[in-house]
Amino acid sequence: QVQLVESGGGVVQPGGSLRLSCTASGFTFTTYGMHWVRQAPGRGLEWVAFILFDGSNEYYVDSVKGRFTISRDNSKNTLYLQMNSLRVDDTAVYYCAKVSDWGPYFDSWGQGALVTVSS
């Protein structure tokens, strides 16, 4: 059974940094790409970033390019999202999600980590 557990959320001031982690189990982590998706309070879903199974390539939504970095440690079955220069509009629940067997859809999700950017 696939399990994804996010951690590292919290409250941070504008301009600050935070690193989210997502620990995976129940599947062969080293063979799947992984995503981060976020959801601002009361709003819809927004894809944030994707990393290939071996970490060789990454994609980002324009609004986080140059500020966020997705990475993974396959020896630890862990996905990361380093978030720098945080802004108030980055406030959201951040979900990690596993790529499906049928392409870059999201077939398993974590429970989410709340990031609040506020002064």
Partner 1 sequence: EIVLTQSPATLSLSPGERATLSCRASQSISRYLAWYQQKPGQAPRLLIYDASNRATGIPARFSGSGSGTDFTLTISSLEPEDFAVYYCQQRSSWPLTFGGGTKVEIK
Q: Is 105 in the site for partner 1 (CB under 8 A)?
A: yes
Between the CA atoms of 17, 25, 49 and 86, what dihedral angle is there, to the nearest 10 degrees?
A: -10
**DSSP conformation class of 76:** T
| Shortest reach from residue 119's CB to partner 1, in Å | 27
Would you say 13 or 63 has its CB closer to partner 1? Answer: 63
Rounded CA separation 19/54 (Å): 20
Q: Mark the segment that binds partner 1 (CB under 8 A) among 7-15, 22-30, 74-82, 96-104.
A: 96-104
Q: Is 112 in the site for partner 1 (CB under 8 A)?
A: yes
Q: Is 104 in the site for partner 1 (CB under 8 A)?
A: yes
